[in-house]
Structure 1
Amino acid sequence: MAPPLSRRTLLQTAILATAGPGIAATASTATASAATLPAPAARRLRPFHLEDVTLDSGVFADKRRLMLDHARGYDVNRLLQVFRANAGLPAGGAVAPGGWEGLDGEANGNLRGHYTGHFLTMLSQAYASTGDPVYAEKIRTMVDALVEVREALRRDPAVLAAPGRFGGAVEQVRGSYQYVDLPAGVLSASPAITLAVWVRPTHAGTWARVLDFGDDTTRYMYLTARNADGVPRFALTTGGPGAEQGLDGTAPLPLDRWSHLAVTVADGTGTLYVDGTAVARNTAMTLTPASLGTPAHAWLGRSHFPADPVFAGALDGFDVWSRALSATEISRLQGSRAADTAAGPGDLASYAFDETEGAAFADASGRGLTATLRRTWGGPSHPGFLAAYPETQFIELESMTRGDYTRVWAPYYTAHKILRGLLDACLATDDDRALDLASGLCDWMHSRLSELPDATLQRMWGIFSSGEFGGIVEAIVDLHALTGKAEHLALARLFDLDRLIDACAANTDVLDGLHANQHIPIFTGYVRLYDATGEERYLTAAKNFWDMVVPHRMYGIGGTSTGEFWKARDVIAGTIGPATAETCCAYNLLKLSRTLFFHEPDPKYMDYYERALYNQVLGSKQDRPDAEKPLVTYFIGLTPGHVRDYTPKQGTTCCEGTGMESATKYQDSVYFAEADGSALYVNLYSPTTLTWAERGVTVTQTTDYPREQGTTLTVRGRTAAFALKLRVPSWATAGFRVTVNGRAVEGTPVPGGYLTVRRTWRSGDTVRVRVPFRLRVEKALDDPTLQTLFLGPVNLVARSSATDHLRFGLYRNAALSGDLLPTFTAVTGKPLHYTLDGTEFAPFFEGTEDPTHAYVRRAEPRVVFGGTDSGVANPAGPDGTTLLDEIWAGAPFASKGALVARVRTTVDAWVAAGLLGRADGDRIGAMAARASYVS
């Protein structure tokens, strides 16, 4: 009997089954579960699992090792704190990570929970790649906790008991949105009152209410542990904040220690006591609790002002008397419970908070005013709900007409990260609970979104930031491939942003002004929808969209966006700034390129993949260990002298999340296979070992690429006939050579294509690929004098603290091949490092904090060949192209004579056009003939 299929195998099989009958026939016994998916579409290629491709020693393995150490060392309970808090569960002392993943983060933590999803994906990839059980154990811890969180959210809130000042106490976890609801008649319209309570605050935030009795933000009475000045305050008003009659303390209450607060109001005088000592007195109080009548609400821990936080800490011994206790009576409350003093328990209300379960608190006043623990937002609308904040974020989005991330910050984006993380956890560990959580999350989303009119959905998804939903469509379609639930495929289609899909399907460029990372990942999802439905508009829109970004809005390193947004098409130099190339954008463009390549193996997608992976993505990870932080960039500024920030925006950002993922899946696109197993694509030259179980072979790449200009592939295992398709990079314009067992392969390599080697492979066959690098420049589309340098696939940056663009001439020693590298001097012992005019150039992928210049200003003031100066100024045409530019555009040259001929014909044309004098032209031609060149 065959062994059971893993979840990962089932998912890949299901995805393959959506790719057409010819593919489904090869997909083993699991295809039946996916056979009901509608309108299967053709996918020519399929990827390999991460565990099928071992990453061997090299620059990628070095970077990954740093991230794996971070994954190993970071306490995942910190990530889970915000989920547990939202569910009212104990956090075990764990402290939220902060930044965007915390209650004090940017926009008040309205994106919290997203980082947990990223971390789950990182751990899943780390486990798949290494097999190290430490990552599986961390996944298990996180899934355990999220199961418990969802169950807690499904139930009414329950008492979280804690040791009190004299007995028990009720703990209010920060971020729990829980409060104690007292019956409305607790004040009994009493003209005099004493309030007394023990508090142990755990957070220094202001305006969290110990109590708030009232109707709204106009009529209320409150006691807060910290006002705007950080000291206790009691206030009473029937006219809103401007009419408050109050009492303010003189010092902050200590955190994590019990303090006693008491207030008396009677006969026009109010007094505030802290730990039995009167700290404030107001003898002009004309309002009494009776002024409020019967308040609509009587809350402990909750404010009538929605922006105020819920009280975080513990409450013990809350009593209310219908008279003003004396100073002596209040002093005696410090030593024992009220019931054990002469004052006795409060006659209006008295709660000891000794309960250890349930949601009710007994009243010892004799009035039977049982209090109830509640959530400010009630509870989820569907049992599948799972989040680190209330469902109100999602509800409020449905009525928003414009974005405001301080109120609602991309809740479906956050849901996507959680969903993706759970799905990846399931695939990595075969944990059905993770699948159940993911399925339930989608069931909940469908229950909400399927009830909304299409116009509402279109408005929501078009709102900047608040309506951002990331790659949720891709994740939902992947889930549907496992569950087969019609509701899940229907849910994926509810995220259609028709305005953008239709424009891109018609090849109408509407990207100017759009938020880049809000839109890139949705097209990967639309390609997956094409897989599942066969609707061509999804695939056509995605292809056209990609072409609108690459190269028209792409920087040399493969990044895109400035300040997170796109500007006009073909404006590169005009958009360079300190906040260019958001790292998430590169991550998502790589995913889209990869997904499109499965359908149409156009080498342009893999050319882009190499560019972005070997430069921006590698360079976004700092080259030093840190268990606390992933050390990944957010923006990569391309301004002169930019220093990369590897701990951006207080941490736990979207880009750090995708950066963690990128660094644990470097090998995911090195190899692809034809769906029928007839060919193996080698897309990237990277030290890896592929286990191709279907064909019974392994393919090992031995190389130090990109420090080595080529690679060696060794095939071992069964004898197998298949085509080996070797990518010829578009920049490899000369010298690309392939041998098999020492014999040259027939065929002409075409830059920007694949060289195919067809044979029956036998164990031990060796393929040697030679990929000579040359130094070349790429010009900014809108300013040809602003250029970035590449040596083969590697972007070279100048290291300098100068804040103006550095100016360099590069033609002075150019080789006959057109290679500009002879103008530079290699740095001994430092591969891929060079100097020019005293400035060091280094690979962009090195994650240092050196100030860098990704773009330099090209300055070729005089005509120089082979290091010999003609003494003639280098003229420029109307479009900025210089004489030297036009001459060297003819490279490579087969011989010195070919170069000299090019010089003379170009000079003659410029003389005829009046751009160059004849005498100067003759001098240039004569000097070119005398000069010496490297080949």
Structure 2
Amino acid sequence: MAPPLSRRFLLQSAIVAAAVPGVSFGTGGGRAAAATVPAPSTWSVRPFALKDVTLGQGLFADKRQLMLDHGRGYDVDRLLQVFRANAGLSTKGAVAPGGWEGLDGEANGNLRGHYTGHFLTMLAQAYAGTGDTAYADRIRSMVGALSEVREALRGDPKMLAVTGKWGGAHENVRGSYQYIDLPAAVLGGAAAVTLSVWVMPTHTANWQRVFDFGDDTTRYMYLATRNADGVPRFAVTTGGPGGEQGLNGTAALPLNQWSHLAVTLSGSTGTLYVNGSAVARNASMTLNPSVLGTLANNWLGRSNFSGDPVYAGAFDEFNVWSRALTADEITSLQTNEAKKSAAGLGDLASYWFAATDGGTFADASGRGLTATLRRTWGGPSHPGFLAAYPETQFIALESMTSGDYTKVWAPYYTAHKILKGLVDAYLATDDARALDLASGMCDWMYSRLSRLPDATLQRMWGIFSSGEFGGIVETIVDLYTITGEPDHLALAKLFDLDRLIDACAANTDILDGLHANQHIPIFTGYVRLYDATGETRYLTAAKNFWDMVVPQRMYGIGGTSTAEFWKARGVVSGSISDTNAETCCAYNMLKLSRMLFFHEQDPKYMDYYERALLNQVLGSKQDTAHAEKPLVTYFIGLKPGHVRDYTPKQGTTCCEGTGLESATKYQDSVYFAKADGSALYVNLYSATTLHWTAQGVTVTQTTDYPREQGSTITVEGGGGTFEMKLRVPSWATAGFRVTVNGGAVSGTPTAGSYFTIPSRIWRDGDVVRVTIPFRLRVEKALDDPTLQTLFHGPVNLVGRNASTSYLSFGLYGNAGLSGDLLPSLTPVSGEPLHHTLDGTEFAPFYEGTEDPTHAYFRRSEPKVVLGGTDAGVANPARSDGTTLLDEIWAGAPFADKGALVARVRATVSSWVSDGLLGRADGQKVITTAENASYEA
């Protein structure tokens, strides 16, 4: 029995649930919603549903279209292959995608099933964002198939009938872990014996057993389709592998073709036949079934050695005779069914696999030795179980003390992806089957985890990476808001990792050495647990955690992590490698930033959102169409000359999965509404149209941002009354101007805030114009100010250069009074946001090319140059690397030349006083500043 929930916990949950308004996360309307997740009362602003925000033409739409085409055309039977195989169902001839998604991938495909969940989410978002029913049809098809899979897993395995050598046959689908269990009397203790079988192997794994009769790994008799040399082998022993008496074939059996195998034992002679020909004979054999005696395990398709693969392929006609057939009788079996051959049916056992479509096989020998189809792992512990592999990974995790992904690779992470895909499928299509599958998965997880002591759970969730569970808490809480099942909320709390929560709640940074993407999505879930329970430690921990990553462990593009892990706080330069910025990390940091903004409208969250979305996330998608691969990066190396890999690890990694999702929800955070509907937040400048039915208006942004430095916002419909809050990016220090219908709006916009157009009755045709001049600026690595990355407004510019050493550039020489460094660069005609500097082209990071890039460069300002004039003075530096020119230009923007000269005088005076600059050299700098001319 599961431990009872406390009365206090149940009462608190009931109060919170009652307080949640029954409205969608989306605050608009648009197309009719299929289903909704109630919005928490704790959110002071709320997002709009994807269906309420239409993506217009531009950079984001172009990127999205590549993924939409991929999602529309990809064969979803390939995604379902591993699920169907696990259930013993026909895989319809589909081939698994490969990479991490399939039995042959890394760690034996121990993560299989995750990609299918991502794909379902992508389809749901594609349908919501476009209204194209082709995506909904694909969702329903996949949900139907997964329903069949769960139904098959709930019961005993059943025969999979295929075309056999003589009619019907039974197929063991690779990945089904199925075998045929024969009664103990099958060999009858015979001293002489013949075993005959038709096989059609479908995989080349060695040591697949056609049959294995034995007690353990000491006493057994087997026939394998392939030994270590890839040829058939028969062996019998009472002394383990070292005592085997064997017969080896001479050639490999062909795949996907029927082959006949037979073994005869008589006296001291054993013979192995392949397709009627004797390929091996041993006249010194002393072992036979009479010596072995009655054996415990009598199996077709399974080995007594647990590490050997289960036979993948089909069986037809397995016969056992209590004598050695003659060569002529073996020959007759090649052209006749056994019952019509010279040999006749086996007198010890005879199975026609076409005779049943259930889970048992009748014996035609007259001995009544009915065989039973079984799974090596038995079956699920709960009828809600759904996965693309056996429950054994989940079971093994419960006793693990350290991670080993070759044995257990994040089963609850995989479960999360499947669960999330099903919840999204339900919300998109209102398909009750998807909700039933999702709810069943949570019921199954609760049945397992609620029985475990808290110490066991804490140990499990702290293991890398076997204990990784992704964003499962968030999805479980979302499901709870739909189902209202107390066990679902209780399940979400079973994923508490107290060491992490308590440290972050106390603002104690313990992230150094942790696996980044194992921990980021945990906090999005904990924010949702705060929403559902009111326990403040969850929200406090999440806020503090965010500050430990941004900017402390953040690269300029918004990404984080090195080789999937975090280094110490503030180490940026010291962590740059070929394996920076795992793309999943950016995906999950965006989700967490968004979730925190719902609770506290701190502009820093949306500043980060723009940075990571516009740079890393867009740049992670290659600008190329591909039918088979989503073409999304895993890592984005920031070392000089790095070339992005858009097909990492042969495809279907975690990052390609999140990449499917990212590219179909670009519009999800452009607009939020205040919970009471009194304000509209415009968080991102993007060509979009918002259908806000609650206010009776349509809000359209027309812009080519970021290739345009601003946006035009048009309100249609009229009659709505609300404030419009426009995000003023923290980098927008060159001015931010707003007009309504051509008239300036009063107030002074402040970088890193929201500028408010006061509440008004909006009229049809009202036009808001936002102008955001860009500046070229640098951002310095926290631990090395000489290592810098270049930004033009929100856009990270990367050098395209094959050199594998850091490039060195100076930028102050032609800086204007505004502090803008752009005059030092030369624009490339016809290429927006492209510039050259000292022969190197700088281009937006978001362009998904395969050019070698330099995200960081060495800043070198060896001489004091002002307004293009060399002062003839070396540019001195303080011990922390800050130079004289750095301090001068830190005062920008300057109202006029006089203000700049005044800054130069004050800075020079300070440096002379500190003994860092000679008085004569200081005067040269001042004179140069006075005589030089500057752009505005």
TM-score category by the smaller chain?
A: over 0.9
Distance 1:672 1:36, change over 3 A: closer
Alignment map for 1:526-545 (pairs within 5 Å):
526-545=526-545
Distance 1:162 1:561, change over 3 A: same
Alignment map for 1:24-423 (pairs within 5 Å):
42-423=42-423
Q: CA deviation at 1:355?
A: 2.2
**Aligned residues of 1:272 and 1:281 also touching (Cα < 8 A):** yes
Task: Say if 2:809 is the partner of 1:805.
Answer: no
**C-alpha offsets along residues 492-548 of structure 1, whole Å, 9 cap, x if unaligned?**
111111111111111111111111111100110110111111110110111011111
**C-alpha offsets along residues 72-118 of structure 1, whole Å, 9 cap, x if unaligned?**
11010110111111111111111111111101111111111111110
Task: Say if 2:887 is the partner of 1:886.
Answer: yes
Q: SS of 1:610's equivalent?
A: helix
Distance 1:142 1:613 in 2: 30
Q: Which runs of 5+ in 1 are unaligned?
A: 1-13
**Aligned residues of 2:37 and 2:481 also touching (Cα < 8 A):** no
Q: SS of 2:616's equivalent?
A: helix
Partner of 2:743: 743
Distance 1:104 1:156 in 2: 26
**C-alpha offsets along residues 697-750 of structure 1, whole Å, 9 cap, x if unaligned?**
011000000000000101111322211000000000121111111111111111
Distance 1:856 1:576, change over 3 A: same
Q: SS of 2:770's equivalent?
A: strand
Distance 1:255 1:34 in 2: 49
**Aligned residues of 1:36 and 1:484 also touching (Cα < 8 A):** no
Q: CA deviation at 1:878?
A: 1.3
TM-score of the aligned structures, taking structure 1 as reference length? 0.96
TM-score of the aligned structures, taking structure 2 as reference length? 0.96
Number of corresponding residues: 918
Distance 2:22 2:394 in 1: 42
Q: CA deviation at 1:307?
A: 2.4
Distance 1:823 1:488, change over 3 A: same
Task: Say if 2:623 is the partner of 1:617.
Answer: no
Alignment map for 1:618-697 (pairs within 5 Å):
618-697=618-697
Partner of 2:905: 904
Q: CA deviation at 1:140?
A: 0.9
Q: SS of 2:597's equivalent?
A: helix
**C-alpha offsets along residues 448-473 of structure 1, whole Å, 9 cap, x if unaligned?**
11111111111111111111110001
Partner of 2:769: 768
Task: Say if 2:822 is the partner of 1:845.
Answer: no
Q: CA deviation at 1:282?
A: 2.3
**C-alpha offsets along residues 343-395 of structure 1, whole Å, 9 cap, x if unaligned?**
22222211121224111111122211110111111111111111111111111
Amino acid at match of 1:391: E
Distance 1:622 1:18, change over 3 A: farther
**Aligned residues of 1:86 and 1:175 also touching (Cα < 8 A):** yes
Distance 2:100 2:216 in 1: 31
Q: CA deviation at 1:209?
A: 1.1
Partner of 2:11: none
Amino acid at match of 1:551: P
Distance 1:364 1:460 in 2: 50
Partner of 2:930: 929
Distance 1:423 1:72 in 2: 20
Between 1:90-99 and 1:826-835, the stretch displaced more is 90-99
Amino acid at match of 1:494: L
Q: CA deviation at 1:310?
A: 1.4
Distance 1:881 1:174 in 2: 63
Q: SS of 1:364's equivalent?
A: coil
Distance 1:809 1:24 in 2: 52
Partner of 2:823: 822
Q: SS of 1:871's equivalent?
A: strand
**C-alpha offsets along residues 158-184 of structure 1, whole Å, 9 cap, x if unaligned?**
111112112221111111111111012
**Aligned residues of 2:16 and 2:533 also touching (Cα < 8 A):** no
Q: CA deviation at 1:23?
A: 9.0
Distance 2:658 2:153 in 1: 28
Distance 1:490 1:205, change over 3 A: same
Partner of 1:784: 785
**Aligned residues of 2:21 and 2:38 also touching (Cα < 8 A):** no
Distance 1:26 1:91, change over 3 A: closer
Pairwise CA RMSD:
2.1
Distance 1:844 1:538 in 2: 35
Q: CA deviation at 1:24?
A: 11
Q: SS of 1:121's equivalent?
A: helix
Distance 1:24 1:162, change over 3 A: closer
**Aligned residues of 1:201 and 1:312 also touching (Cα < 8 A):** yes
Distance 1:112 1:105 in 2: 9
Q: SS of 1:354's equivalent?
A: helix
Amino acid at match of 2:744: A
Q: CA deviation at 1:232?
A: 1.0
Q: CA deviation at 1:341?
A: 2.1
**C-alpha offsets along residues 292-347 of structure 1, whole Å, 9 cap, x if unaligned?**
22111111111122222211111011111222222222122111122222222222
Distance 1:876 1:864 in 2: 15
**C-alpha offsets along residues 117-143 of structure 1, whole Å, 9 cap, x if unaligned?**
100000000000000011011001101
Distance 1:392 1:414 in 2: 14
Distance 1:48 1:815 in 2: 42
Distance 2:217 2:508 in 1: 50
Distance 1:362 1:491 in 2: 45
Task: Say if 2:860 is the partner of 1:859.
Answer: yes
Q: Which runs of 5+ in 2 are unaligned?
A: 1-13
Between 1:197-206 and 1:124-133, the stretch displaced more is 197-206
Identity within the alignment, %: 76
Distance 1:809 1:35 in 2: 53
Q: SS of 1:725's equivalent?
A: strand
Q: CA deviation at 1:18?
A: 7.2
Distance 1:369 1:748, change over 3 A: same
Partner of 2:869: 868
Distance 1:164 1:26, change over 3 A: closer
**C-alpha offsets along residues 189-239 of structure 1, whole Å, 9 cap, x if unaligned?**
222221111001111222211111111222221111112221111122222
**Aligned residues of 1:247 and 1:280 also touching (Cα < 8 A):** yes
Distance 1:431 1:26, change over 3 A: closer
Between 1:157-166 and 1:674-683, the stretch displaced more is 157-166
Amino acid at match of 2:372: T
**Aligned residues of 1:19 and 1:42 also touching (Cα < 8 A):** no
Q: CA deviation at 1:818?
A: 0.8
Q: CA deviation at 1:787?
A: 0.5
Amino acid at match of 2:345: P
**Aligned residues of 2:200 and 2:255 also touching (Cα < 8 A):** yes
Q: SS of 2:353's equivalent?
A: coil
**Aligned residues of 1:887 and 1:902 also touching (Cα < 8 A):** yes
Distance 1:378 1:25, change over 3 A: closer
Distance 1:15 1:313, change over 3 A: farther
Distance 2:58 2:776 in 1: 22
Q: CA deviation at 1:920?
A: 1.7
Distance 1:929 1:242 in 2: 93
Q: SS of 1:690's equivalent?
A: strand
**Aligned residues of 2:26 and 2:47 also touching (Cα < 8 A):** no
Q: CA deviation at 1:19?
A: 6.8
**C-alpha offsets along residues 30-80 of structure 1, whole Å, 9 cap, x if unaligned?**
9xx99999xx75210100000100000110000000000000110101101
Distance 2:631 2:43 in 1: 37
**Aligned residues of 1:193 and 1:324 also touching (Cα < 8 A):** yes
**Aligned residues of 2:27 and 2:49 also touching (Cα < 8 A):** no
Q: SS of 1:54's equivalent?
A: strand
**Aligned residues of 2:641 and 2:854 also touching (Cα < 8 A):** yes
Distance 2:592 2:360 in 1: 52
